[in-house]
Structure 1
Amino acid sequence: MSQEKRSVALLSLLASAVLTVAKFAVGLMTGSLGILSEAIHSLLDFGATAITYFAVRVGDRPPDRTHHFGHGKIESVAALAETGLLFATCAWIIYEAVRRLLVAQVHVDVTWIAVAVIVGSILIDFNRSRALKRVALKHGSEALEADALHFSSDMYSSAVVLVGLGLTWLGYPQADALAAIGVAVFVCLAGWRLGRRTVNTLMDAAPEGAAETIAELARDTDGVLALDRLRVRPGGGTLFVDIDINVARTLPFDRVTPIKNRLIARIHDAYPRSDVSVTTHAVPLDDETVHDKVMLISRRRGLAVHHVTIQHVGERLSVSFDIEVDGAMPLGAAHDLADSLEKSIADELGTDVEVESHIEPLQIETLAGRDVPEDRRHAYHETLSELAAQGMLTDVHNLRARQTDQGIFVTFHCRVDPATHVEDVHEAVDVLEHLFRERMPEVRRVIAHTEPLGAAPA
């Protein structure tokens, strides 16, 4: 529990006790109903403040096994109990005031002590109301805010009693009872405002404007296609936000998480004491291509797919692709995997579609490699440079050759005219790799990295 919240609640409790004793003593001594009503009011204040002190102690406990959202609503329960005490005060004050006006004649002795007690009460209520309000806003405490509202209304009711004493001293004895009714009016107004807010909190009513603000934040967050559902409810000093958003289903998982984090951060900026839960729903886009759909389905299954080819053959759609699986996997298992992927793609694209796959081995294990001798690396470089000169590729550089248990792997960089189409570059690289492996059969694999002429060296 916050030490600041505990301290301000305890000081308010002690102030209520002192005012209650002083007002009862002066009220009985002078016979003033206004002061007695204030004394009873202060007694109820003492009880309400005691409830508040208990509530802020319990409300700051963290969530546990049976209270998953924490204990913050105990502050709302305390505020509701305080509301009940306020209305009970009103009922007694109005009853006694009407009785004195219509039936009983009670002499009120106005003394300087009575005036001093009421003035002191106003000063004390002013200072503790400000202190309670400050701490309540700082920590989002509903119970402390209820106390602050309560004691701010007490200042006005005490001022009414002070006016009643003055009129009584001037020779208008009914003014004391009328002042008491004035106190009851202030108490009723404070109770009504406090009770309405407390009931709204207990019924999980969203704070005014919160839902609209959060909805706007969601719609303005990059990557969010639409707001699907939003639920906001207060719990003590915490605002619980449960929000569902739509994102493009073609997005990989590692791009969805930053979208959620950006939205959560924006909500926290607007409502620092918020607990935000974001659920994403992947939805299809109107402009998804066939290629997007094929890659999406394969990615969901954790399969590597490339060389996707899409053809329109008359009224039919034909899709083919290469699928990479573990090279050590039995062909039967690999075929079942490919067949399942083909069926999923066909279900997505429609019944009138051809789907064919080519199974390739995927290098999964990490190979232990070592650099080949320099003379062999030089021979590979010379051969590649010679073959590249026969086509569009130039400037073979950054060549590496490593010996592994599965053969020699050669990687190199080369350059090409930046205006050349990627498809033409890829075909030229394929030809170069094929010719090179014919010359150097010990080479298991060749990986070429093409760069545009004039690019900075990699």
Structure 2
Amino acid sequence: MQKDKERVALISMASSAALAIGKFAIGFMTGSIGLISEGVHSSSDFVATLVTWWAVRISGKAADDAHHYGYGKMESIAALFEVVLLLGAAGWIAYEALKRLSGEAHQIEAAPIAIAVLVVSMVVDFWRVRALRRVAKATGSPALEADALHFLSDMLASGIVLIGMVFVTLGYWSADAVAALVVAGFIVVAAVKLGHQSFAALTDAAPEGASAAVAAAVITVPNILAVERTRVRMAGATPFVDLLVAVSRALPLDHVAEVKSQVVRAVRAQLPHAEVTVEMKARAGDDESIETQVRVIAANRAAAIHRLTVQRVDGRLSISLDIEVDADLSVDQAHAVASDLETGIRNELGADTEIDTHIEPMAAEWLDGGEASSEDYRQIVDSLSKSAEQLGVVTDVHNIRIRNTSIGLIVNFHCRLPPNMSVTEAHAAVDQLERSVRSLHLNVARAIGHAEPAREG
């Protein structure tokens, strides 16, 4: 794409030089102020396309330590330079045309030759407009788009001068000067439009409709609750998009990177090749349950909780939970941890929320130990079997592992329950079996049972 931009800019520059020479030569030969004005215009075109070609080459350079956003704005600077040239040329043409109109009529010779030159100029400009717009659309180049606009105005201006020359051949000698004034007007209009576009790019004005299109695309991405800020600016052909989006605070951290990738893809579907910066803001979703709210509050305080129960008692919210704290903390320190969690919950759910926290020691991450003695193993296996038989619903206690650790014996086992039993009923049954083992063997620190569905038959 960069090579296409440079090639079309170079061809446009060579065309401007050839047209300027031809128009000046025939203009001075025939004495046509309209054609000489076109020669001046084409000369300014040559300088402008020279600057455009240079800017297109520079803008293609990659970002570096000195220019973190690249060199894209060089194209807009070149376009502003072109505006100055256009306004200067328009002023000179208007001055000469008014002087010709206020003075003695100037006879123009060989008008048919001048007409032929104008026809050739229009054909060349038509080809240039098509070529420049094609590459500008493919590459998003503001400099080439400006050149295309410029040469479209040239083609129209040449048409006006051509009409003036036709009237000259019919004996209306002032028509040439009038045509020159119209050319000057076209140049001013093109310069103002081009200057507005270039100034907008240099002052980071957002492309019309871009922010709304980006926001509409991003809000469709799963897990995006709202698009709170959308900023779009152009640096040459590259759009830079800065987004602030709201996501559920319950969104797992390992999903955040994927959501960001989806946002970037959504933006680039609207603005190809955009450089996208996404900032995420966590907030409560409208459909967030109380259980989720409590768990998020606890997670933000690095508090491990379980056995969370939420009730409504006479219209009042009641919450109970178990909180695990470092086993080495004092009662006073553990109470402070629990109180901090309770304060956080009340701040979000209401000051009148009833909260009960049961403090439990957090097991150490690593426990040294080994297999239990054969006697301990035999006694505990026997207790598990008898307790399960007494419960009546727990069967096939198997995969029993008993380990001796610094905090006491840890018992792990699997057992089977009716497959249609509810989780609540299954948990109660296994919990009762665990308590039974701990009550019969005081050296058991923990008992953990894993429930499985009983096999058919």
Tell me the TM-score normalised to structure 1 length.
Answer: 0.83
Q: Which runs of 5+ in 1 are unaligned?
A: none
Contact 2:410 2:445 in 1 (8 A): yes
The answer for the alignment partner of 2:418 in structure 1 is 417
After TM superposition, the structure 1 stretch with the greater mean CA deviation from structure 2, 164-173 or 372-381, is 372-381
Contact 1:238 1:275 in 2 (8 A): yes
Cα offset, 1:267, TM superposition = 1.5
Q: Does 1:231 align with 2:205?
A: no
Equivalent AA in structure 1 for residue 425 of structure 2: D
Contact 1:377 1:400 in 2 (8 A): no
Cα offset, 1:86, TM superposition = 2.0
Cα distance change of structure 1 residues 168 and 423 upon mapping to structure 2, 3 Å threshold: same
Contact 1:129 1:151 in 2 (8 A): yes
The answer for the alignment partner of 2:448 in structure 1 is 447
After TM superposition, the structure 1 stretch with the greater mean CA deviation from structure 2, 35-44 or 93-102, is 93-102
Equivalent AA in structure 1 for residue 357 of structure 2: S
Cα offset, 1:431, TM superposition = 1.9
The answer for the alignment partner of 1:144 in structure 2 is 144
Equivalent AA in structure 2 for residue 96 of structure 1: E
Cα distance change of structure 1 residues 117 and 296 upon mapping to structure 2, 3 Å threshold: same
Contact 2:372 2:404 in 1 (8 A): no
Contact 1:391 1:428 in 2 (8 A): no
Q: Following the alignment from structure 2 to structure 1, what is the Cα–Cα distance between the partners of residues 260 and 13?
A: 44
Equivalent AA in structure 2 for residue 195 of structure 1: G
Q: Following the alignment from structure 2 to structure 1, what is the Cα–Cα distance between the partners of residues 382 and 20?
A: 102
Counterpart secondary structure, 1:225:
strand
Cα offset, 1:139, TM superposition = 1.7
Cα offset, 1:41, TM superposition = 0.5
Q: Following the alignment from structure 1 to structure 2, what is the Cα–Cα distance between the partners of residues 73 and 345?
A: 51
Tell me the TM-score normalised to structure 2 length.
Answer: 0.83
Cα distance change of structure 1 residues 428 and 162 upon mapping to structure 2, 3 Å threshold: same
Cα offset, 1:104, TM superposition = 3.5
Q: Following the alignment from structure 1 to structure 2, what is the Cα–Cα distance between the partners of residues 223 and 148?
A: 43
Deviations 1:141-171 (A, max 9, x none): 1111101111122222223333433443444
Q: Following the alignment from structure 2 to structure 1, what is the Cα–Cα distance between the partners of residues 153 and 181?
A: 14
Sequence identity of aligned pairs in percent? 43
Contact 2:233 2:240 in 1 (8 A): yes
Q: Following the alignment from structure 1 to structure 2, what is the Cα–Cα distance between the partners of residues 36 and 68?
A: 45
Q: Following the alignment from structure 2 to structure 1, what is the Cα–Cα distance between the partners of residues 404 and 17?
A: 87
Contact 2:230 2:241 in 1 (8 A): yes
After TM superposition, the structure 1 stretch with the greater mean CA deviation from structure 2, 377-386 or 203-212, is 377-386
How does 1:16-31 map onto structure 2 within 5 Å? Answer: 16-31=16-31
Q: Following the alignment from structure 2 to structure 1, what is the Cα–Cα distance between the partners of residues 400 and 139?
A: 63
Q: Does 1:392 align with 2:393?
A: yes
The answer for the alignment partner of 1:160 in structure 2 is 160
RMSD of the alignment, in Å?
Answer: 3.7
Deviations 1:83-119 (A, max 9, x none): 2322322222222223223314333222666455433
Counterpart secondary structure, 1:168:
helix
The answer for the alignment partner of 1:135 in structure 2 is 135
How does 1:359-378 map onto structure 2 within 5 Å? Answer: 359-363=359-363, 365-366=365-366
The answer for the alignment partner of 1:49 in structure 2 is 49
Cα offset, 1:216, TM superposition = 2.1
Cα distance change of structure 1 residues 340 and 186 upon mapping to structure 2, 3 Å threshold: same
Q: Following the alignment from structure 2 to structure 1, what is the Cα–Cα distance between the partners of residues 191 and 321?
A: 72
Contact 2:416 2:453 in 1 (8 A): yes
Q: Which runs of 5+ in 2 are unaligned?
A: none
Contact 1:411 1:448 in 2 (8 A): yes
Contact 1:401 1:408 in 2 (8 A): no
The answer for the alignment partner of 1:272 in structure 2 is 272
Deviations 1:45-70 (A, max 9, x none): 12211222232233334445564443
Equivalent AA in structure 2 for residue 204 of structure 1: D
Q: Does 1:109 align with 2:112?
A: no
Cα distance change of structure 1 residues 338 and 154 upon mapping to structure 2, 3 Å threshold: same
Equivalent AA in structure 2 for residue 424 of structure 1: E
Contact 2:19 2:39 in 1 (8 A): yes
Q: Following the alignment from structure 1 to structure 2, what is the Cα–Cα distance between the partners of residues 172 and 372?
A: 119
Q: Following the alignment from structure 1 to structure 2, what is the Cα–Cα distance between the partners of residues 355 and 299?
A: 17
Contact 2:225 2:285 in 1 (8 A): no
Counterpart secondary structure, 2:72:
coil
Q: Following the alignment from structure 2 to structure 1, what is the Cα–Cα distance between the partners of residues 204 and 189?
A: 23
Equivalent AA in structure 2 for residue 81 of structure 1: F
Cα distance change of structure 1 residues 118 and 336 upon mapping to structure 2, 3 Å threshold: same
